[in-house]
Amino acid sequence: MSNRCRCPSCNRKETLAGYFCEKCNYNWEEEAYLEPDGRVSSASCPRCLKACRAETLRCANPACMAVWPPPEEV
């Protein structure tokens, strides 16, 4: 898909977004997709279904494994 988030280090589209749900204290990762305005898409918590924003982004390429914060909201 063209809206996959790219790694700033290796430029590959194998990026995972790390989410944290403050309601039930649950951490998980999903493929990172970008909204039209450049923000990382939010995701629903698998446990309580609360909408959560990405906390971190991570390259899933084993040769890279870069970690960086998601783009700031405007």
- The pLDDT value given to residue 45: 98
Where do the structural domains in the chain lie, given as residue ranges?
Answer: 15-68
Instruction: Give tens-digit pLDDT for 16-41.
Output: 999 999 999 999 999 999 998 889 99
DSSP letter (8 states) at residue 60: -
Find tokens 């809206």 and name the residue. Answer: 3
Element (H, E) at 52: strand 51-52
pTM comes to 0.86
